[in-house]
Every structure is written in C-alpha cells, then in structure tokens.
C-alpha cells in the first residue's frame, strides 16, 4: 500500500511548452548561486520565454544561506515560487536542499550536490548536521539526481565551477537547447573563466548518475 501511495504522489506531469517552470537554486554564499541564476534566466530569455529571477532569501556573503527563484514560461506574472509549487529544486549543498524541500511540488525533481558545508550552529557545537539527507529527500521528491559537483569541478580545473556543473545538469531537464546555454555562458561568464566554465557545463550536461545511486 505504501509503495502504491508513493507512486500516486509522484505522478506529477513535468511542465510542458505552455506551462511555467518553477525553479529554486539553494546553497550558501560563495557557491555562485546568483551567477547560475543569471545564466539560467538569460538562457530562457534568449529562447523567447518570459522570465522572472529573484534573490529572495539570505545574504550573498560567504557562508550565508542564498536562494534564488527562477520562473519562466509563456507568461510569468510573479517572481516568487510558492511552497509546494517548485518543479525543480537545485541544491548546491545538502542541508540547503533539506531546508527548501517543502517548496517542492508533488512529484517534483531534485538535483542534489553531495557537498556538506557546516553552518555556524554546527561549527559552534550548538547543533548537529542532519544525517541521511539524500534518503529524506528521496522520500519526498518524485526523482532525485545525486552528483558530486565539487569533484567534477576540480577535474575541470577550478573548484569555483561547482555552480556551472550543476547548471549543466539542470539544463538537461529544461526546454532550452545546449547551444543556447553555451552562447549564454559566453555572454555572462568572465572571459578568463569561460573555457573552464564551458568544460564544467558540458560535464554537468553529460553527467549520468551511477546506477547504485539512482
């Protein structure tokens, strides 16, 4: 019975051409959330969609929680993704994925970076970092993509491209062609970082989750 209920809960239709895509990028300061949101929004705009992008929570200084909403579609009237309406939650850090899980819609998709960045209460010993976060998220989400974006970014030549690895993986699930993403990246990324960002994006775009993690 439990499996049947789970199946029913996860039967949420992925947005189509006439729908609005609701995306949340959640992480901490220093992970490049705002850059990723800018690229995502610009790519959707280049594709011809109406786009709303907003930083809605937290501070962008290193270590603080940072969240951006990106909404695009034929017509978008508001910039905020309400609780229970997020189609795609891109968690740059595990705890931030858990923190924003209640915004996920029924059957929504989660991209979870397997990176842990201890917040100040954990560093100071006043709290413990939650255990088994991927398992908790799996019980709530329709599908989960686990990725070690930090390792992939290092293989590309810069740990600062974690955001671009995750952006590449995100792009696979959105109705924007790869060439538009790469054109947008060339427009938005600093020239000195373009090559490594292109490599990181392509690695994310081509990423296949190991069978043992699916």
Rounded to two decimals, what is the model's pTM? 0.89
- Domains of the chain by range and CATH? 2-12+21-116+130-206 (3.40.920.10)
Helix (H) or strand (E) holding 99: helix 94-99
Please write the tens of the pLDDT for every residue from 88-102: 999 999 999 999 999
Residue (of 10, 88, 24) closest to 56 by Cα position = 24
Give me the long-range contacts of 189-194 (CB less than 8 A, separation at least 24).
Answer: 189/35, 189/39, 189/164, 193/158, 193/160, 193/161
Alpha-carbon Rg for the chain in angstroms: 17
Mean pLDDT of the chain: 89
Please write the tens of the pLDDT for every residue from 20-71: 999 999 999 889 999 999 999 999 999 999 999 998 655 545 567 899 999 9
């Amino acid at each position: 019975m439990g499996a049947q209920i789970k199946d029913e809960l996860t039967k949420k239709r992925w947005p189509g051409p006439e729908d609005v895509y609701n995306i949340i990028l959640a992480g901490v300061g220093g992970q490049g959330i705002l850059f990723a949101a800018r690229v995502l929004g610009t790519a959707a705009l280049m594709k011809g969609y109406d786009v709303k992008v907003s930083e809605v929570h937290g501070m962008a200084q290193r270590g603080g929680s940072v969240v951006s909403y990106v909404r695009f579609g034929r017509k978008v009237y508001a910039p905020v993704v309400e609780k229970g309406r997020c189609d795609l939650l891109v968690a740059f850090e595990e705890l931030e994925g858990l923190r924003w899980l209640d915004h996920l819609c029924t059957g929504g998709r989660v991209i979870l970076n397997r990176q842990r960045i201890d917040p100040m209460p954990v560093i100071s010993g006043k709290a413990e970092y939650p255990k088994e976060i991927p398992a908790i998220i799996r019980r709530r989400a329709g599908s989960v993509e686990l990725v070690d974006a930090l390792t992939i970014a290092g293989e590309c030549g810069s740990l600062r491209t974690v955001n671009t690895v995750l952006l590449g993986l995100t792009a696979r699930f959105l109705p924007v062609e790869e060439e538009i993403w790469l054109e947008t990246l060339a427009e938005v990324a600093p020239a000195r970082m373009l090559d490594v960002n292109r490599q990181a994006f392509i690695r994310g775009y081509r990423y296949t989750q190991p069978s043992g993690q699916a």
